[in-house]
Structure 1
């Protein structure tokens, strides 16, 4: 195999246009680069947007250095089946202008407020990112939380007497735009930024709720050398994704003209009410992902495709969707079954390697958003617990012991589990009663603590596949 020495850069691809910065994007990770920035590229290719995104690292350690080494160019590889056609495309994305690390260059971050051309803000800081952090400080350089950083930027924009932004968060939490706006307003009050700023926030900025849908496995580590030989250049931040894409933005009708995604042929809906779209996607695509991850990892499986090619696990996923998730959603059953069938086909995509460990990031907040509402409604309406969700919940809690599955969560969450696991006999009661994790005391839910203890013992004595076999038949 040929070893590549030429790194992707603007000198190797001088034909690529660098457009003016029109969007600020919090998050430089795989998903946003294969979702939002890829869509900007499609609009630019058609002369419909002629803009780029300046990316902001939400945490100190990020990909900014890797991006800069490639002049902020990277490759998106789409692999899968769409409309009964095999898709296998490679495209260099040039819609990113630069990456700012506010932890090392806070002034450059705040200077974004000076640019009149910037009119959109997007974000994906994981489900845990849109959160109020008591004690976050206005004089932090930067403030610790994403909403805190955003508040500081918006206040600088206000002080300069400039127009506001259209703000479209992509984090997978319910009513993400509204929650982000609430936290920004809370920080404005905490920091005594004044009534005029609060009025400007309300009148000059549009916070949109949104829903994103594209499976993005990320960097193709196992095939990187082969792909670089095919491409003819080195690319340390190439990203693989499925061809399917769907973005629902709850906002004013005029947004479809200002951000002409649908006009570019992209599967994007601007709507006054995104609720039906969100419930379908979060519970029928993200929910099964969150359920399969701890069970699959405990059984030694590595990818979503591994799960779907395993008879026991694929039966579990099908039963989870049809018996526990769909009955709890207020949408026509025929529509839900059709969507669920398409989701399971996407899970089986043989062209992308979607690793379970990549989905496991911040699994606690994901469970709270994606599966806990279904569990609670099921118990309320049927007087019993959903067996498959409850087993997946127990597997998730066991995985946070840290001895069998790699842990990927915030230090605060990991510390809670470390303390709870220090007394295994009382673990279930301690962790279920922690309202900071679940938003309520789950130990009060009839039968849940007992069922979790039964499943924890079961998963200790046998692997998760054996536990599933008893459940799914």
Structure 2
């Protein structure tokens, strides 16, 4: 049996492998993180790992709200795992040790609530994806008809959802006279701190108006902007990294050299010195959030849907097609940038140039199918906010509309060669039913999908500029296919 990465095996790693610069036995946990996916392990956990040698009170207890897979992979490894940073120049490996423990919430509800209620925990952070907040993406309000919300309101001490766990832990701390922890979302939500505060406050008020008022007035919710591309780990990645380590790592994470974290400095119970690891603390995150959501995430989703339909497996494959490069450059320059209002010193041109190079990175096998997941939750933040700003100025939305139309074509569940698409989305069945009812007619499909208020709200379906632009783009995708449609749009805008 091959040797497994764990605490006892760190000294046996090759000398070129960077390992934690601290004694894990002297680290105590000050953070609970909900949603221990690859992104957290390639981003916030790395920043924390960097500062632990000087600030050992900030270790992480991570929790999965659904699957035991990460716990099962990391528990035999004492929580250690490998970070692989890949670029054109090669691969750099580093072992991360900031996650001391992983809890699987459905198996250990009381255990997780007990840890979150511990006075030593001063921050609860989240990467549960947009759908994990049980909110309406079009309005940012709590979805009071969400099955998990209905369950948790009736079983508040046995919660399923992230809002349910956080509010119950805050209730217990309040009852025990323990100061509340800071709640820090690291997900792609608009004004994520304010959005999560609104969702949690409403949920708490439905349970107990006094508890809701306490959370509204006493809990801090700093907004954040996180930026790093983290593709899914493959068996090939595991094998390659295992050879380099000389031992097995069941779940390494793969990422790019670029990383960014912008945080509002509002932590009433203290925080790690993440600025020592490169994080930037600001008074207002919103300009940076819009920059990232609209330039990176909006471009990423547009590339994912169009690239998948065009037959490209990865973003880098898509960006090897010069027409797609020109599409994304035009989207960023002509339609997104005019909606951004950055503080002095922010260099948008440099950021956009860096984005194009990041998207082209052939060492990152970031699958278009992976990025295309959960589009019903992502579209309002990544594309539709920009659309609304452009429409308010009577400005063109041709490229944005094509991205929305590509999503519509994708969620029908069949690609341009009539092969099935594995659509992963909370609304997948609803989307498929609407697509089936449209019977392949792009105008009917668009009209049916416009009717999903949770995505498009009430305003966009009533705006003929929006509906005409998207319907026209969708008809072209059906008639000409993604590659030819992109080519024609590029030619027309030259």
1:71 aligns with 2:83: no
Equivalent in the alignment of 2:356:
344
What is the root-mean-square deviation in Å for CA atoms of aligned residues?
2.3
Task: Name the CA distance, whole Å, in 2 between partners of 1:270 and 1:87.
Answer: 31
1:416 aligns with 2:427: no
Equivalent in the alignment of 2:311:
300
Task: Name the CA distance, whole Å, in 2 between partners of 1:458 and 1:107.
Answer: 54
Equivalent in the alignment of 1:427:
445
Task: Name the CA distance, whole Å, in 2 between partners of 1:333 and 1:311.
Answer: 31
Q: Which runs of 5+ in 1 are unaligned?
A: none
- Alpha-carbon displacement from aligned partner over 1:259-286 (angstroms, at most 9, x marks no partner): 2011x2x221212111221122211111
Distance 1:359 1:105, change over 3 A: same
- Alpha-carbon displacement from aligned partner over 1:53-112 (angstroms, at most 9, x marks no partner): 11111324542222223222110011237xxxx573211111111111121111111111
Task: Name the CA distance, whole Å, in 2 between partners of 1:361 and 1:176.
Answer: 20
Task: Name the CA distance, whole Å, in 2 between partners of 1:16 and 1:360.
Answer: 40
Give the deviation of 1:200 after TM superposition: 3.8
Alignment of 1:139-150 (within 5 A): 139=155, 142-150=158-166
Kept in 2: contact 1:79–1:242 (CA 8 A): yes
More deviation in 32-41 or 219-228? 219-228
Task: Name the CA distance, whole Å, in 1 between partners of 2:121 and 2:8.
Answer: 27
Match of 1:444 among 434, 455, 462: 462
Task: Name the CA distance, whole Å, in 1 between partners of 2:292 and 2:198.
Answer: 24
Give the deviation of 1:140 after TM superposition: 5.2
1:380 aligns with 2:392: yes
Equivalent in the alignment of 1:229:
243
Alignment of 1:20-419 (within 5 A): 20-44=28-52, 46-60=53-67, 62-80=69-87, 86=89, 88-130=91-133, 131=135, 132-134=142-144, 135-138=150-153, 139=155, 142-192=158-208, 194-195=209-210, 197-252=211-266, 258-262=271-275, 264=276, 266-331=277-342, 335-382=347-394, 385-404=396-415, 405-410=421-426, 413-419=427-433
Aligned-partner SS, 1:353: coil
Kept in 1: contact 2:117–2:170 (CA 8 A): no
Kept in 1: contact 2:220–2:268 (CA 8 A): no
Kept in 2: contact 1:176–1:209 (CA 8 A): yes
Task: Name the CA distance, whole Å, in 1 between partners of 2:131 and 2:353.
Answer: 29
Task: Name the CA distance, whole Å, in 1 between partners of 2:221 and 2:238.
Answer: 38
Give the deviation of 1:334 after TM superposition: 8.7
Task: Name the CA distance, whole Å, in 1 between partners of 2:50 and 2:30.
Answer: 15
Kept in 1: contact 2:201–2:216 (CA 8 A): no
- Alpha-carbon displacement from aligned partner over 1:396-433 (angstroms, at most 9, x marks no partner): 111111123321211xx113212311321432112112
Distance 1:334 1:146, change over 3 A: closer
Kept in 2: contact 1:443–1:449 (CA 8 A): yes
Aligned-partner SS, 1:128: helix
Task: Name the CA distance, whole Å, in 2 between partners of 1:253 and 1:25.
Answer: 16
Kept in 1: contact 2:241–2:249 (CA 8 A): no
TM-score by length of 1: 0.90
- Alpha-carbon displacement from aligned partner over 1:2-31 (angstroms, at most 9, x marks no partner): xx8112122323796242111000111000
- Alpha-carbon displacement from aligned partner over 1:343-386 (angstroms, at most 9, x marks no partner): 11222223322222221221222221011111122223135x41
Task: Name the CA distance, whole Å, in 2 between partners of 1:175 and 1:326.
Answer: 19
Give the deviation of 1:458 after TM superposition: 2.3
Give the deviation of 1:449 after TM superposition: 2.9
Task: Name the CA distance, whole Å, in 1 between partners of 2:201 and 2:266.
Answer: 21
TM-score by length of 2: 0.86
More deviation in 100-109 or 218-227? 218-227
Aligned-partner SS, 1:430: helix
Q: Which runs of 5+ in 2 are unaligned?
A: 12-21, 136-141, 145-149, 416-420
Aligned-partner SS, 1:395: helix
Distance 1:334 1:68, change over 3 A: closer
